[in-house]
Structure 1
């Protein structure tokens, strides 16, 4: 069957009931079921939020790692985000995928959310426009579908599978559903993924109100709804409300015998009509992939052929445009290549600060560290001092090792067996051999026909050689979902098998066990790990095959290291101090416990700032961190997680090859206690109370006149901009705005983000001080002025959700339009009137 005759109606008539049921659940982790009899192919979906991993975590085909969500939103650049989305679709083609499980567009209620880095903003309009832009890019050619997630209120990960989000209808509409509404209105995503949590007592994946009521009836959207992985909790309710397909397979709730039995039960009121509705939408999803390719024979080959200079250029541009200049009080930036520069800090020379963790993690094509980026820029080696460590657990070991199996590749030899080492014969051959080059070996999705499917038990010997760069004490670490023994030169070094303890924070697998040994520079040490799959452990988490995390650091006296950093800072003209978080701290499944930066980072920063005031602090995190040294810092750059090209992108900004133009996509409180969700950002007795209601982010800080470190929409440049000539006119339906922006500097061509807010001056109910309603990024040469024009609808600019009427309300009255450079930097304003009150629903 070809695309020319892929007729959904005809197929619906030909499908048996059993075949229809197969189509509404996945075949495996990433593929839909095929019905070969009728030429209906299987489709592949792939994570994710900041790149397209393909179908496996373990031994994955390397991919392009994009900047994280808050970084992309901080570009405030629709065209650039669409370009990134298009690049994601190209990546999907190279991973044999027809749908991308992203973008993520949940709201940052507070700074500690596990996947806050993965989403776009605290503001629903910015999140919605960012989502729509990326979806438009992904679906530009029609060959790849976007999956907007997680629908809805998956804004923390604490007990996320059962947590009940208690939220008012007004907050649900004005804040949490808005990004999805904008995505549907502007980009029509082909897929939407439901969240794990409940809303007001009902799981989102079986909510008639959300799926049928809002998505289908009100918004008239007819795409395919899928659950988050293992996020289906029923058979009848989920099918009846329109959850079209259950992931992953094999199914838990949609087995043929179960569904057929329920179809015959009048008490359950499940009809073949409900099955048909879900099946039809799955077929429409498949039809779009088939017709865009002209074939039902899909190529599922995964490759790295998109690792090109063009890909790197786009990723580098996106990372640089998202970087936000927070302070430049002494005009230390931009730096000169002639400056005497020292680089300090734990984030400068690590690769795992390129992205957050969980579904966002991947094996990247390559990663340019900050230190490498700076050295690439200046053309020579730079003095570097780590100062302190900021890891959660040890890593970066396999990446530096060599092996006998393939000496041309970095990594260790992994040999797979059915028996533990003590039960094997001397000549027993492994059933699989691989070279593993990442210290986090996530094997939960590893499969092999040689593994006993009833027990899931198998074993791996990881072995290779480590050569220390210096003589000294080294600490090795090992944790596992499963069991693990580590040997050095044949002697047991770490036992993470005999008496395992649960990891206290991560709650997946065992606690990290460590050992310290003295090593000599240049000497080759043979390291071996005997690992057993998850089922071999008494702590079994029943999460696939299991995992192992290993690592090493050189042990140093932290006081001495901070002093070394101070001495280096004193002996150079300029300091680049790289600190922050990484994917070990911001990761799916685990909200942050504190807003502080880990380890002794704050002590390091304070000491270096005292030693050299010409210090540029570069912070990396996906969401805000506390900065107790902020008042002492004159120069501060926030760089997020920049993906493959993070190091070069940061260097581009620091040295002025790119003028910073990013603006904060979320407010930056001084401390966690200041944020609106502080008292309610956890699940308590099964529920999480959205007590801040509509007052999320800057809406809260402005209403309470609470100071923040940096406001929403804030970001500096290497030049200055002047706003003049605001003109506003309103009729019964629309609002037309124009203003002039001038680059008043004489040196740099730069980009300014003009932000348009609207305030209700005499509302009948409590409303925010103002709300973002439009923005535009404009590039200006030195001295150049441009007129920027906006066209807003009155309904979307001025309405609130009226819970009494259960509809949106455009309320008659006086309003103010405000134009500025951030939420706290309003340059121009003008009043306008809305003459008639109107209630409405829909897009």
Structure 2
């Protein structure tokens, strides 16, 4: 892309001439953790950036400046809806501008190679074309408003185990056809920034890998900024390579050592100049170079909630249904499952944001159905951050907590906070403090044995009514900073409290183990029934209710950045609960709140299965819309769901000797590998039901455009995703049995027929060879239907 080269090139040369070498080197490292450096002398502002896969957090994790929590990557891809991404992109841009952010670090467009991948939920799909289509729509829609997107992580960062050192071994065809393709399409969409990954590919760390030059900057013509993943720049000499900006900053390897290397001739200054040119071009695009950022649409809280609610409903996949859904004026509804009251709205890691509000399934369903609730199982033994409605700031007498930063006996600052978990990394007071105190008066809302405690890294102590009852130095078992930040160890004491009783709680953290104060949590665990008693109560509630809805799901300890999953099983006794409930109530509906596939041994024994992913802040209201039929469950699977983990054809995420992780399956991942293996999954790629019925007919092909008639044969309006796959019998090339070539989303009223038009990109007919892209002579077969296994129409094309 060279849209701005003619205008900017002379200006960039002029600005470069005004910068000495130290100034140029400052510009190719961050100013701090989430801010690109500026240079007032040339009119270049500092540029804050933010994590952005599922919402725009801003530079700081602070509940006083909340963010809209969007559906996860898998959820957005499950909509198969490019137009929806236009709305989502506008909302992301509006959030970025509200938080003074110039770039959002997303979307995450790595591929679902294995369902064990820890960030599977954050990525779009197992299919490169679907990933590319959603990525392109995301990039175009965000950048249309003058905010940069940043597709990541280039390339093959498809799992988390040993993510800093893993070396992916993949042949060029595999890289080109699967893992590079979404990035290629993002560049075609005009991406202004791309993030280089931690891992190596074929023996070379990605921030120094030749893949940054070819195909990214050469063949594809990417003229934006390659930014490193945080701390991924490995060496001073790497500054001569394709990575342009080292984050966070100032980056030690690119400070004085780089200046010395340039002066010695070990790194050419021309390489530094090229990086600065790219940064200046980026700054001009986002309005940080002698300009002001482009105005963006604004969203009220209500408008943002409507967008998220609609997106969450469009993402929900109705995997099975015996006609129980949608619910029509049911009698008593038993709502069960720990996740019904404490669901997962988002995945863990850099996709985390702090929303101003959330709606749980319990809250959302209670507004529209006669719900009675009990959890049935305790999903986690972990405590939760103290709820705001149970704690009072002793300094202000208002709901919340008092936070103090101490340097010895000196109080550096005091803040009123409204969350039990505080993320403090990068906070200047926290960086200076030798101790941090979080205090609040707890009011018990039920009688029984309470757990009262804390979480953090360092020396933790708890005092109750002025008496110290706990002190322990806690250091993490692993070395990944994300896990230390988002899943720190917990410690607690127990106290029996009467309902309404109050107790003063002081949590104190002294940073230690070489780690700064990354965060502090004041945590509690409410009294609860014994496990067997609670389980029996849930089964009895289901037995005596008209309908049973069981919400099952994963936890922060299972799906998150920083580690891969060990298995695909639901944690705890959730499978046992579903089986017991289904045995006493034939109208059992299971809602699965996970970001990626889980095993469901009970799936054929329940009335309906609804997959909701991590749906964002409006989970409860969107779920109520779908279960009652106010909205269509619009999702179709962007990834295959297995019956058992043992069936999964590509599973490994753990590097072997020399940190090598061979992609020995080549181009056969996801549904391609399932088709090759001949094993039937629980639910195939592209699958999803609605509340009406459909008939496809009249397939015609002209060039690379397919058209067909789609008829809604049911009695209510509906939404369908029509999918087109290619195959090639007796090919001289190793190919998948079938592969996705295009798709179209259609809507039709009851009895209505509409025309679906599917554009089939040239690339879907091509394969990579040593000589480049080529199309094998002869014809292909086009298959059209509603999943990779439901393809009633076909035609020859070529």
Q: Same fold (TM over 0.5)?
A: yes
- Counterpart for residue 356 of structure 1: 347
Matches within 5 A, 1:56-135: 56-59=60-63, 61-135=65-139
CA distance, structure 1, for counterparts of residue 758 and residue 479 of structure 2: 52
CA distance, structure 1, for counterparts of residue 522 and residue 329 of structure 2: 39
Q: Structure 1 pair 688/162, CA: closer, same or farther in 2 (3 Å)?
A: same
Q: Which moved more, 1:59-68 or 1:354-363?
A: 59-68
How big is the shift at 1:695?
Answer: 0.9
2:226 matches 1:225: yes
CA distance, structure 1, for counterparts of residue 352 and residue 653 of structure 2: 28
Given that 2:43 and 2:290 are in contact with CA atoms closer than 8 Å, whether structure 1 keeps it comes out as no
Given that 1:680 and 1:689 are in contact with CA atoms closer than 8 Å, whether structure 2 keeps it comes out as no
2:621 matches 1:629: no
How big is the shift at 1:808?
Answer: 1.7
Given that 1:739 and 1:787 are in contact with CA atoms closer than 8 Å, whether structure 2 keeps it comes out as yes
CA distance, structure 2, for counterparts of residue 297 and residue 725 of structure 1: 49
Q: Which moved more, 1:276-285 or 1:459-468?
A: 459-468
- Counterpart for residue 339 of structure 1: 331
CA distance, structure 2, for counterparts of residue 128 and residue 147 of structure 1: 14
- Counterpart for residue 772 of structure 1: 740
Given that 1:322 and 1:639 are in contact with CA atoms closer than 8 Å, whether structure 2 keeps it comes out as yes
How big is the shift at 1:338?
Answer: 4.6
Given that 1:762 and 1:814 are in contact with CA atoms closer than 8 Å, whether structure 2 keeps it comes out as no
- Counterpart for residue 749 of structure 1: 717
CA distance, structure 1, for counterparts of residue 558 and residue 299 of structure 2: 30
CA distance, structure 2, for counterparts of residue 800 and residue 392 of structure 1: 50
How big is the shift at 1:697?
Answer: 0.6
Q: Structure 1 pair 254/645, CA: closer, same or farther in 2 (3 Å)?
A: same
Q: Deviations over 1:702-754 (max 9, x none)?
A: 11111111001100011111000111244xxxx221111100002x1110000
- Counterpart for residue 156 of structure 1: 159
Q: Normalization by structure 2: what TM-score? A: 0.94
- Counterpart for residue 320 of structure 2: 327
- Counterpart for residue 577 of structure 1: 550
- Counterpart for residue 440 of structure 1: 421
2:643 matches 1:670: yes
Q: Which moved more, 1:408-417 or 1:709-718?
A: 408-417
* Secondary structure of the structure 1 residue equivalent to 2:759: strand
How big is the shift at 1:294?
Answer: 7.2
CA distance, structure 2, for counterparts of residue 193 and residue 501 of structure 1: 28
How big is the shift at 1:476?
Answer: 3.6
CA distance, structure 2, for counterparts of residue 677 and residue 297 of structure 1: 45
Matches within 5 A, 1:516-595: 516-533=494-511, 536=512, 538=513, 540=514, 542=515, 545-548=518-521, 550-595=523-568
* Secondary structure of the structure 1 residue equivalent to 2:564: coil
- Counterpart for residue 193 of structure 1: 195
Q: Which of 765, 772, 794 is equivalent to 1:807?
A: 772
Matches within 5 A, 1:134-153: 134-141=138-145, 143-153=146-156
How big is the shift at 1:781?
Answer: 0.2
* Secondary structure of the structure 2 residue equivalent to 1:561: helix
CA distance, structure 2, for counterparts of residue 512 and residue 223 of structure 1: 43
Q: Which of 479, 482, 485 is equivalent to 2:461?
A: 485
- Counterpart for residue 740 of structure 1: 709
* Secondary structure of the structure 1 residue equivalent to 2:367: helix
Matches within 5 A, 1:167-182: 167-182=170-185
How big is the shift at 1:110?
Answer: 1.2
How big is the shift at 1:516?
Answer: 2.9
- Counterpart for residue 251 of structure 1: 251
How big is the shift at 1:826?
Answer: 0.7
- Counterpart for residue 416 of structure 1: 405
CA distance, structure 2, for counterparts of residue 182 and residue 139 of structure 1: 15
CA distance, structure 1, for counterparts of residue 797 and residue 137 of structure 2: 30
* Secondary structure of the structure 1 residue equivalent to 2:76: helix
CA distance, structure 2, for counterparts of residue 195 and residue 549 of structure 1: 34
How big is the shift at 1:399?
Answer: 3.5
How big is the shift at 1:152?
Answer: 0.6
CA distance, structure 1, for counterparts of residue 526 and residue 655 of structure 2: 34
Given that 1:158 and 1:683 are in contact with CA atoms closer than 8 Å, whether structure 2 keeps it comes out as no
Q: Structure 1 pair 451/688, CA: closer, same or farther in 2 (3 Å)?
A: closer
Q: Structure 1 pair 336/409, CA: closer, same or farther in 2 (3 Å)?
A: farther
Q: Structure 1 pair 503/172, CA: closer, same or farther in 2 (3 Å)?
A: closer
Q: Deviations over 1:456-510 (max 9, x none)?
A: x52122111222222122234533212211222334444332x767379996386
Matched pairs, number: 787
Q: Structure 1 pair 471/630, CA: closer, same or farther in 2 (3 Å)?
A: same
How big is the shift at 1:629?
Answer: 1.6
Q: Which moved more, 1:467-476 or 1:77-86?
A: 467-476
CA distance, structure 2, for counterparts of residue 148 and residue 307 of structure 1: 27
Given that 1:326 and 1:638 are in contact with CA atoms closer than 8 Å, whether structure 2 keeps it comes out as yes
- Counterpart for residue 841 of structure 1: none
Q: Which moved more, 1:386-395 or 1:652-661?
A: 386-395
CA distance, structure 2, for counterparts of residue 84 and residue 202 of structure 1: 36
Given that 1:479 and 1:496 are in contact with CA atoms closer than 8 Å, whether structure 2 keeps it comes out as no
Given that 2:725 and 2:740 are in contact with CA atoms closer than 8 Å, whether structure 1 keeps it comes out as yes
CA distance, structure 2, for counterparts of residue 825 and residue 252 of structure 1: 55
Q: Structure 1 pair 139/305, CA: closer, same or farther in 2 (3 Å)?
A: closer
* Secondary structure of the structure 2 residue equivalent to 1:135: helix
- Counterpart for residue 836 of structure 1: none
CA distance, structure 2, for counterparts of residue 720 and residue 553 of structure 1: 46
Given that 2:338 and 2:551 are in contact with CA atoms closer than 8 Å, whether structure 1 keeps it comes out as yes
Q: Structure 1 pair 500/192, CA: closer, same or farther in 2 (3 Å)?
A: closer
Q: Deviations over 1:153-188 (max 9, x none)?
A: 111111111111111211111111111112222x11
Q: Which of 341, 360, 366 is equivalent to 1:369?
A: 360
Q: Which of 689, 692, 697 is equivalent to 1:719?
A: 692
Given that 1:39 and 1:296 are in contact with CA atoms closer than 8 Å, whether structure 2 keeps it comes out as no
Q: Structure 1 pair 177/605, CA: closer, same or farther in 2 (3 Å)?
A: same
CA distance, structure 1, for counterparts of residue 632 and residue 744 of structure 2: 17
How big is the shift at 1:672?
Answer: 2.0
CA distance, structure 2, for counterparts of residue 95 and residue 772 of structure 1: 38
Q: Deviations over 1:64-100 (max 9, x none)?
A: 0000000000000000012101110000000000111
CA distance, structure 2, for counterparts of residue 816 and residue 366 of structure 1: 49
CA distance, structure 1, for counterparts of residue 126 and residue 516 of structure 2: 32
Matches within 5 A, 1:397-412: 397-405=386-394, 410-412=399-401
CA distance, structure 1, for counterparts of residue 547 and residue 561 of structure 2: 37
Q: Which of 302, 309, 319 is equivalent to 1:316?
A: 309
How big is the shift at 1:554?
Answer: 2.1
2:764 matches 1:797: yes
* Secondary structure of the structure 1 residue equivalent to 2:786: strand
Structure 2, unmatched stretches of 5+, are 1-6
Given that 1:159 and 1:683 are in contact with CA atoms closer than 8 Å, whether structure 2 keeps it comes out as no
Q: Deviations over 1:272-313 (max 9, x none)?
A: 11111101000000111227x9735999xxxx9855211111
- Counterpart for residue 444 of structure 2: 468
Given that 1:82 and 1:135 are in contact with CA atoms closer than 8 Å, whether structure 2 keeps it comes out as no
